[in-house]
């Protein structure tokens, strides 16, 4: 039973699921990459615990990757924990990453470089892999594992892009990138993977890791790459969005937005041959709609005195929230406001939409449900404790 902003305490149950020592994972075959031999702080180890199989979805539950680094399945029916999984030896309590669900298997990256494949029903681990051997550094940050064709792709804070086999977490291929710190998810498109690193933008053959294209820009590229099904789009760390041909990275057009705005990062998506993105800024934050063919601005909506922290597309509308807790919905065609409310609790996660009448997000206190019609905030789960130094959390309805 949901509670309307009233404390509801639950006890955590932590399940430990580890056994034998993992083996060093080598690339499955020779590859055209510059990391044929990985250094100790880059090496991949993996341990297969049980054969990977498709799993039926537990559709009455929601996955919560809490900001303390624990991942748990929470029943929306019983309001209790189904299972909980944590990293083996994370040096600090922080999630700072996102989860991917495919064929009933949850793939989760941890800050210490571990990646687990988990049964969504039981919480049992199929396999675990580890990138590097650090016990006191962040290896994976702000990562969403990109999965396609039997492989998962991820970039790391030790300067590499890795492709792992999803059947057992073993290394398929890797490549040493230009920059040590990489914290933007990878794009898979047309049997290629695209990623940025420092001032460079790359495309790789998804199967072999062969570098297909590399382009160097004047400034660091720091947004998620997206595609409209024809071309690829990426922004730099300041105020420019580029449209690139997917094969040779020819610049088709570039769009300059306000000079005092920046930091698109993951606040970008493509829909119906348009690019939608949100900026942050010194005096105002904005949402833009751009024609993907021409680079022409279609509309722009400003949020004065605030910064947009998150946007997403849902049912042909744009939803987002700001740093000061304004939740908003915009029409994709015109940018017109469809919904707006000032939240009592500040979101630190993505938004999830179970139906047309409500949405979920996570805050420092726990899981919140918003009833869209009434704008009521309901506490679905409340944490035992609240941390002061919260970075991020992630939620995903199992469906």
Q: How far is CA 314 from CA 113, 184, 317, in A?
A: 31, 22, 5
pLDDT tens, residue by residue, 178-191: 999 999 999 999 99
Q: Per-residue pLDDT for 10 more than 90? A: no
Segment 275-295 mean pLDDT: 98
Segment 325-341 mean pLDDT: 99
Report how far residue 15's alpha carbon sits from residue 358's, in angstroms, rounded to the nearest whole number: 31
pLDDT at 389: 87
Report which of 178, 171, 265, 181 is spatially closest to residue 215, judged by C-alpha positions: 178
Give the number of other CB atoms < 10 A from CB of residue 76.
Answer: 18
pLDDT tens, residue by residue, 215-232: 999 999 999 999 999 999
Report how far residue 69's alpha carbon sits from residue 352's, in angstroms, rounded to the nearest whole number: 20
Q: Per-residue pLDDT for 15 more than 50? A: no
pLDDT tens, residue by residue, 130-163: 999 988 999 999 999 999 999 999 999 999 999 9
pLDDT tens, residue by residue, 35-71: 557 888 899 999 999 999 999 999 999 999 999 999 9
pLDDT tens, residue by residue, 80-99: 999 999 999 999 999 999 99
With pLDDT > 70 as the criterion, what percentage of the chain qualifies? 91
Report whether 162 contacts 171 (CB < 8 A): yes
Residue 32's pLDDT band, with cuts at 50, 70 and 90, is low
pLDDT tens, residue by residue, 366-392: 999 999 999 999 999 999 999 988 999
Residue 16's pLDDT band, with cuts at 50, 70 and 90, is very low
**pTM (two decimals):** 0.92
Given strand 114-119, what is the order of strands in its sheet? 23-25, 44-48, 125-131, 114-119, 105-109, 100-102
Residue 17's pLDDT band, with cuts at 50, 70 and 90, is very low
Report whether 295 contacts 253 (CB < 8 A): yes
More confident residue, 11 or 213: 213
pLDDT at 247: 98
């Amino acid at each position: 039973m949901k509670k309307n902003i009233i404390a509801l305490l639950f006890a955590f149950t932590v399940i430990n699921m580890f056994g034998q020592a993992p083996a060093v994972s080598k690339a499955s075959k020779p590859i055209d990459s510059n990391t044929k031999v990985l250094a100790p702080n880059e090496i991949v180890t993996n341990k297969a615990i049980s054969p990977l199989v498709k799993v039926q979805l537990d559709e009455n539950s929601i996955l919560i990757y809490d900001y303390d680094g624990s991942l748990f399945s929470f029943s929306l029916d019983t309001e209790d924990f189904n299972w909980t999984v944590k990293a083996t030896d994370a040096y600090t309590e922080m999630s700072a990453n996102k989860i991917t669900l495919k064929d009933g298997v949850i793939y989760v990256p941890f800050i210490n470089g571990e990646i687990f494949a988990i049964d969504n029903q039981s919480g049992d681990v199929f396999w675990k892999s580890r990138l590097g051997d650090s016990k006191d550094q962040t290896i994976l940050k702000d990562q969403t594992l990109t999965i396609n064709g039997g492989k998962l792709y991820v970039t790391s804070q030790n300067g590499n892009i890795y492709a792992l086999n999803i059947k057992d977490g073993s290394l398929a291929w890797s490549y040493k990138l230009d920059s040590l710190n990489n914290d933007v998810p990878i794009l898979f498109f047309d049997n290629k993977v695209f990623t940025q690193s420092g001032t460079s933008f790359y495309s790789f053959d998804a199967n072999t890791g062969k570098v297909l294209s590399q382009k160097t820009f004047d400034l660091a590229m720091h947004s998620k790459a997206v595609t409209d099904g024809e071309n690829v789009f990426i922004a730099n760390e300041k105020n420019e969005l580029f449209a690139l041909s997917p094969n040779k990275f020819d610049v088709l057009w570039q769009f300059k937005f306000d000079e005092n705005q920046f930091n698109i990062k993951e606040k970008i998506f493509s829909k119906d041959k348009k690019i939608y993105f949100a900026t942050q800024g010194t005096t105002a934050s904005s949402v833009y709609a751009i024609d993907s063919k021409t680079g022409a601005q279609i509309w722009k909506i400003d949020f004065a005195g605030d910064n947009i922290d998150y946007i997403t597309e849902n049912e042909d509308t744009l939803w987002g929230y700001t740093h000061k807790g304004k939740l908003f919905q915009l029409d994709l065609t015109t940018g017109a406001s469809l919904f707006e409310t000032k939240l009592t609790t500040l979101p630190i996660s993505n938004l999830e939409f179970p139906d047309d009448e409500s949405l979920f997000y996570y805050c420092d206190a726990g899981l919140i449900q918003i009833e869209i019609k009434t704008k009521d905030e309901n506490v679905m789960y409340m944490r035992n404790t609240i941390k002061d130094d919260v970075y991020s959390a992630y939620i995903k309805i199992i469906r």
